[in-house]
Chain A
Amino acid sequence: MQQEARAEKRAIVDADQLLRRVRFTNPDHVKPDGSASSFAFTPRKHKGEKALSVDAGSMTMHERSIKKAAEYRLYVLQVKEVREMLLSVCHDPCPAEEPENQAHTLIAAQDGRPAGCTDVPSVNEGPIPGITAENLKRPKPEVPLTITAGVAKKLARASRRLNYPDRC
């Protein structure tokens, strides 16, 4: 009973942040300009995974999420920005590999949403006052089917390094 309560799924709000560990010692996923490599946001295809593991910032602490501060840094994604990429953000607490991690969350494309995830992005094309030449020309945004290399690149670009434990 207690176990079920611990694993209760919660909604992740737009204002929340998502934390991803990024290795910064050689070999690293941090480029010379400080940005993260797209490989830092690529799911483990060899394990058949289609979604990306992150921690919901509001449900964890930096020192817990970073695991090894000597080897990793935390990169932050804003939930709102991830959803604007038409990706789902699904709370997935206590997975088999991290049974104690209640903050575990998945970023998923159309094809990788975990069972029970109700966070389905809606394509908002914005106000369309009428049929205009401009509206007809505007390409419809597409919900990505999987987290491709290009999607991983966009996630990497949207991420920001957290100044923890550094204070620079």
Chain B
Amino acid sequence: MNDLLDLAIPTQQRRENAATLRPRNCSSTFVSYTGAQYVNSAEHTVLEEYELSSRALEALFRLQRFHELKEDWDSYGALVPKAMTILAAKQFVQAMDRKELAPYFVSPGPSGELMVEYRSEGGVEIEVHFHGDGSRLLLVTEGDAILYEGPYTEQKFLKHAAGGKG
């Protein structure tokens, strides 16, 4: 477990298996997942209330596994992704899942970057690349045509994910 979000990822296990988890560098507050709610113990307020889709859970599981990568994992000299890059991708997957956008595929890149791919119903493939320096790239393609390649903006992402091509 590398960060608070790792601890807060809900699993298929329900309330009877709820765990109370304490993040690093934090002695007074903790986050618990009780089956449907994330609770901040310091304020005793409900932070979130949602259930992740099975595809999002699978993507989060795969992203978690990227912490275990060793250098040269692809045999071409690939770097391992930073913990913060993995965290950013996880947060993105969770945030988009709440908008009912489930990821199709996640993958680490050769230079420590990560990709989360989505597919629209119209066959548009949307890749969000998370780079080690915190920047993000959005690549939108349909067949061999590149519809957009450039800096990520949520507006552009959502437009294409919803099926817009312009």
Using a CB–CB cutoff of 8 Å, the interface residues on chain A facing chain B are 21, 23, 26-29, 31-32, 37-40, 42-47, 53, 67-68, 71-72, 97, 148-150, 153-154, 157
- The answer to whether A150 and B141 have CB atoms under 8 Å apart is yes
> B146 at interface (Cβ–Cβ under 8 A)?
yes
- Would you give 19 A-B contacts (Cβ < 8 Å), ordered by A? A21-B76, A23-B74, A31-B117, A37-B105, A37-B107, A38-B127, A39-B107, A39-B115, A40-B74, A43-B110, A44-B76, A46-B79, A46-B110, A67-B75, A149-B139, A149-B149, A153-B141, A154-B144, A154-B146
Which residue of the partner chain A has the closest CB to B74? A23
List the 7 closest A-B pairs by CB distance, nearest first: A46-B111, A39-B109, A150-B146, A150-B149, A37-B107, A45-B111, A149-B139
B115 to chain A minimum Cβ distance, whole angstroms, is: 6
Interface string of B89-122 (1 = CB under 8 A from A): 0000000000000001101111111010100000
- The answer to whether B65 and A23 have CB atoms under 8 Å apart is no
- The answer to whether B65 and A97 have CB atoms under 8 Å apart is no
Q: Which residues of A contact B79 (CB under 8 A)?
A: 46
Interface size class of B (residues with CB under 8 A): 20 to 34
Known A26-B62, A37-B117, A46-B110; 16 more pairs at CB < 8 Å: A21-B75, A23-B73, A27-B107, A28-B107, A31-B105, A32-B105, A37-B105, A39-B109, A39-B113, A39-B115, A45-B111, A71-B75, A149-B127, A149-B149, A153-B141, A157-B144
Q: Which residues of B contact A29 (CB under 8 A)?
A: 74, 107
Which residue of the partner chain B has the closest CB to A45? B111
Rounded to whole angstroms, the CA-CA distance of A116 and B141 in the bound complex is: 34
Partner of B111, one of A44, A150, A153, A154: A44
- The answer to whether B75 and A68 have CB atoms under 8 Å apart is yes
> B84 at interface (Cβ–Cβ under 8 A)?
no
Q: Which residues of A contact B9 (CB under 8 A)?
A: none
Partner of B62, one of A27, A37, A44, A154: A27
- The answer to whether A150 and B107 have CB atoms under 8 Å apart is no
- The answer to whether A32 and B65 have CB atoms under 8 Å apart is no
- The answer to whether B149 and A148 have CB atoms under 8 Å apart is yes
Q: Which residues of A contact B113 (CB under 8 A)?
A: 39
- The answer to whether A53 and B76 have CB atoms under 8 Å apart is yes
Rounded to whole angstroms, the CA-CA distance of A46 and B62 in the bound complex is: 23
> B69 at interface (Cβ–Cβ under 8 A)?
yes
- The answer to whether B75 and A31 have CB atoms under 8 Å apart is no
Rounded to whole angstroms, the CA-CA distance of A56 and B66 in the bound complex is: 31
- The answer to whether A97 and B77 have CB atoms under 8 Å apart is yes
Rounded to whole angstroms, the CA-CA distance of A149 and B77 in the bound complex is: 18
Q: Which residues of A contact B149 (CB under 8 A)?
A: 148-150
Partner of A44, one of B77, B117, B127: B77
Which residue of the partner chain B has the closest CB to A148? B149
Rounded to whole angstroms, the CA-CA distance of A149 and B115 in the bound complex is: 11
Q: Which residues of A contact B117 (CB under 8 A)?
A: 31, 37
Task: Indicate whether A47 sits within 8 Å of B146 (C-beta atoms), given known contacts A27-B107, A39-B115.
Answer: no
> B78 at interface (Cβ–Cβ under 8 A)?
yes
Residue of B66, B74, B113, B115 with most partner-chain A CB within 10 A: B74
